[in-house]
Structure 1
Amino acid sequence: MKGYFVTFFTQQNREHEGIPLATWIIEKAQKLGVGGATLFSGKEGFGHDGRFHSENLFDLEDTPLQVAIALSAEECDRLLDCINKNNLRVFYTKSEIEFGFTSES
């Protein structure tokens, strides 16, 4: 199947509707029928604003997070539309891919 690999970048302390933004994205993707998503936690990084983010004992809520999803073009459009309709500003990357399973079982 042809589609897209989309990765959203955020931090643990960003929330929408009272839940972490990364969790909100995963829940919306599931409700839209996307087959799966993975949440990755990073050790450290910096954002477009130059601010340093890290996982440390003093500031665990600033941990960098990535939500990675392989999805069809239609699923991608629906998910990005949902994020935009909620007026969320989230950095993402989107690459064309081929995806599927290695066997029927």
Structure 2
Amino acid sequence: MEGAFLRFYVHENARHRHALLWEWLLEQANRMGIRGGSAFRAMAGFGRHHVLYENHFFELAGTLTVEVEFIVTPEEARRLLELVEREKIRVFYAHIPARFGVLNPDADDPPGTAVDLENP
């Protein structure tokens, strides 16, 4: 299937509607029927202000980034991005074209998700 790799970069302590933003994003995507999403806490990184943050000291808790990512169809990407925009959440994201599928699908997999190895 053709789709997108959609990744949001959020501060680990950022909140929206009284929930951690990374949790809120996962919950909203789940409610929309997106098949899966993950959140990963960074070990180190820097942003637009070029300040390097590393996970070495307790006092830096809350300053690192959480990457929240989804592999989605174009329609799912559009709906999720529109939701974030409608909620007026300021967030940096990456939207990258992706080809995805399931090798050896079972009966529970949605139609059309099987990978065609002859035409990858």
Higher alpha-carbon deviation: 42-51 or 91-100: 42-51
Residues paired across the two proteins, number: 105
- Whole-angstrom distance in 2 between the partners of 1:31 and 1:53: 33
1:102 corresponding residue in structure 2: 103
* Uncovered stretches (5+) of structure 2, i.e. residues with no partner: 107-120
Larger C-alpha radius of gyration, 1 or 2?
2
CA RMSD of aligned residues (A): 1.2
Cα distance in 1 for residues equivalent to 2:104 and 2:11: 36
Partner residue of 1:71? 72
For 1:15-34, what aligned pairs fall within 5 Å after superposition? 15-34=15-34
Counterparts of 1:54 and 1:20 in 2: how far apart (Å)? 20
- For normalisation by structure 1, the TM-score amounts to 0.93
Moved more, 23-32 or 42-51: 42-51
Moved more, 7-16 or 52-61: 52-61
Structure 2 CA distance for aligned equivalents of residues 67 and 42 of structure 1: 11
Q: Percent identity?
A: 27
Flag the structure with more relative contact order, 1 or 2, with Cα contacts below 8 A and sequence separation at least 6: 1
Which ranges in structure 1 are unaligned for 5 or more consecutive residues?
none
C-alpha displacement of 1:54: 3.2
Q: Which structure has the highest strand share of the two?
A: 1
SS of 2:85's equivalent?
Answer: helix
Residue 23 of structure 2 corresponds to residue 51 of structure 1? no
Note closer, same or farther for the CA distance 1:19–1:51 as it changes in structure 2 (3 Å cut): farther
Map of 2:39 onto structure 1: 39
Deviation for aligned residue 1:5: 0.2
